[in-house]
C-alpha cells in the first residue's frame, strides 16, 4: 500500500493524523522474545494492539498483529521495522490499512477459467471496484485472458515450491497487493507463505466444507451419492481447507445427473460464491473473530 495515500498526512513531518490501522506479520526461525519485542515497539510508539495471533510449525514462527494509532510517522515506522527485522533476524512486514483505498488484487490461476472470467467480467462492468494488478499462473494456459484485459500475467514454474513461492512473494510485494484470490489455483501454499497474508487470501473449494476436502471433491460426492453438493469460499490458513468460511453455495443432485453435469453445476456455483466473497472483502464487510467470519453492517 502506498504510504503517501493513507489518511490525511502532514507532508512536512510525514505524520498520519487520523486513526490508522496497521498489520504486522513476522516470520522466521522460532526463538524467545519475538512477541515481546514487537509488542514493546507498538506500545512505545503509542499504538493499541487490536488483535494478535502466533503459531509455530516445525520450528517456523509466524505472527500476525493488528494495531491502531492516532498519530504515526509512517515512513519512520517502515525504517524502524526494517532495522528491527535485521536485529531480530526475522522477516517483518507492515501493511497500512485504509478503508477508502481502492484495493490491489492478485488473481492466482491454473487451468480452469470460470472463476477468473467471472471476476474480470464483474470488474469490467463496474460491479466491483478494485485494481486487478496481476494474474499469476501455475500454468500458461490462461495467459491469453490476461492479455485480452491488459493485465500483467506471470507464469511461475512450481518444480521447486520454495523457489516458486519466493518469486510470488516478490511479485506480491512489488504490486502492493491487498487481496490474493485463488481462482481455482491448483497448488497448496505453505505456512511460510500463508502467514504473511492472514485473512487476505481467499480460496474457492469445490465442496461444502468441512465435507469432502481435497482436489477431487465432486468425484467423492458423486461416488458417495450425495444429494446436495456445493462449494465454499474461505480464507486460507496453514490448515488445508480449514480456513474461516465466507460464502457457501449449494445445488441439488438430480437422479439423472452425470458426473460431468455435476461438475458444470459446480463451476457455476464456484464462480458465484467466489465473486460474492471478493465483493464482501473489497467492501470491508468481513471480520474474522476466533476463526469465524462475521459480516459487518
Task: Give the neighbor-by-neighbor strand order of the sheet with 48-57.
Answer: 48-57, 60-69, 20-29, 91-97
Is residue 217 a contact partner of residue 196, using CB atoms and an 8 Å limit?
A: no
Residue 9 scores a pLDDT above 60: no
160 and 86 both lie in a single domain: no
Q: What is the CA angle 114-151-164, rounded to 5?
A: 80
Question: Which comes out higher in pLDDT, residue 296 or 4?
Answer: 296
Whole-number pLDDT of residue 124: 93
Residue 114 scores a pLDDT above 80: yes
The residue among 68, 97, 126 that closes a domain is: 97
225 and 262 both lie in a single domain: yes
For helices 114-124 and 259-282, what crossing angle results, to 10°?
A: 40
167 and 35 both lie in a single domain: no
49 and 165 both lie in a single domain: no
- Residues 274, 287, 193, 191: what is their CA dihedral angle, to the nearest 10 degrees? -100
The residue among 77, 97, 117 that closes a domain is: 97
Q: If you average pLDDT over residues 275-280, what whole number do you get?
A: 96
Residue 64 backbone dihedrals phi, psi, to 5 degrees: -125, 125
134 and 215 both lie in a single domain: yes
Which residues does the annotation mark as catalytic?
241
The residue among 97, 117, 145 that closes a domain is: 97
268 and 201 both lie in a single domain: yes
83 and 207 both lie in a single domain: no
Say which CATH number the domain at 141 has.
3.40.50.170
* Model pLDDT for residues 37-71, shown as the tens digit of each residue: 999 999 998 889 988 888 887 788 888 888 988 88
Is residue 136 a contact partner of residue 108, using CB atoms and an 8 Å limit?
A: yes
* Model pLDDT for residues 123-179, shown as the tens digit of each residue: 999 999 899 999 999 999 999 999 999 999 999 988 888 899 999 999 998 998 999
Residue 198 scores a pLDDT above 80: yes
Note down the domain range covering 17.
3-97
Percent of the chain with pLDDT over 70: 93
Q: If you average pLDDT over residues 233-248, what whole number do you get?
A: 89
**pLDDT tier at 18, thresholds 50, 70, 90:** low
108 and 92 both lie in a single domain: no
21 and 115 both lie in a single domain: no
139 and 204 both lie in a single domain: yes
Whole-number pLDDT of residue 232: 94
Whole-number pLDDT of residue 16: 44
Number of domains forming the structure of the chain: 2
Q: Residue 166 is placed in which grid cell? A: 519466493
Q: If you average pLDDT over residues 265-275, what whole number do you get?
A: 96
Amino acid at each position: 500500500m502506498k504510504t503517501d495515500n493513507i489518511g490525511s498526512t502532514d507532508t512536512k513531518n510525514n505524520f498520519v493524523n487520523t486513526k490508522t490501522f496497521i498489520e504486522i506479520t513476522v516470520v522466521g526461525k522460532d526463538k524467545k522474545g519475538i512477541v515481546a519485542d514487537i509488542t514493546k515497539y507498538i506500545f512505545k510508539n503509542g499504538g493499541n494492539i487490536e488483535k494478535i495471533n502466533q503459531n509455530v510449525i516445525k520450528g517456523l514462527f509466524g505472527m500476525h498483529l493488528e494495531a491502531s494509532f492516532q498519530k504515526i510517522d509512517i515512513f519512520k515506522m517502515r525504517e524502524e521495522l526494517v532495522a528491527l527485522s535485521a536485529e531480530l533476524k526475522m522477516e517483518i512486514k507492515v501493511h497500512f490499512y485504509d478503508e477508502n483505498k481502492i484495493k490491489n488484487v492478485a488473481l492466482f490461476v491454473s487451468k480452469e477459467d470460470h472463476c477468473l472470467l467471472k471476476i474480470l467480467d464483474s470488474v469490467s462492468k463496474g460491479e466491483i471496484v478494485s485494481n486487478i494488478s496481476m494474474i499469476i499462473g501455475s500454468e500458461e494456459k490462461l495467459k491469453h485472458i490476461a492479455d485480452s484485459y491488459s493485465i500483467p500475467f506471470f507464469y511461475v514454474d512450481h518444480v521447486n515450491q520454495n523457489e516458486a513461492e519466493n518469486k510470488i512473494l516478490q511479485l506480491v510485494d512489488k504490486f502492493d497487493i491487498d487481496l490474493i484470490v485463488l481462482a481455482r489455483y491448483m497448488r497448496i501454499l505453505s505456512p511460510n507463505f500463508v502467514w504473511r497474508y492472514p485473512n487476505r487470501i481467499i480460496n474457492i473449494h469445490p465442496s461444502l466444507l468441512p465435507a469432502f476436502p481435497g482436489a477431487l471433491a465432486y468425484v467423492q460426492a458423486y461416488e458417495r451419492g450425495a444429494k446436495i453438493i456445493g462449494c465454499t469460499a474461505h480464507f486460507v490458513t496453514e490448515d488445508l481447507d480449514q480456513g474461516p468460511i465466507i460464502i457457501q453455495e449449494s445445488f441439488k443432485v438430480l437422479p439423472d445427473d452425470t458426473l460431468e453435469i455435476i461438475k458444470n453445476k459446480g463451476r457455476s456455483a464456484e464462480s458465484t460464491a467466489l465473486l460474492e466473497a471478493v465483493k464482501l472483502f473489497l467492501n470491508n464487510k468481513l471480520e474474522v473473530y476466533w476463526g469465524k467470519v462475521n459480516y459487518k453492517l
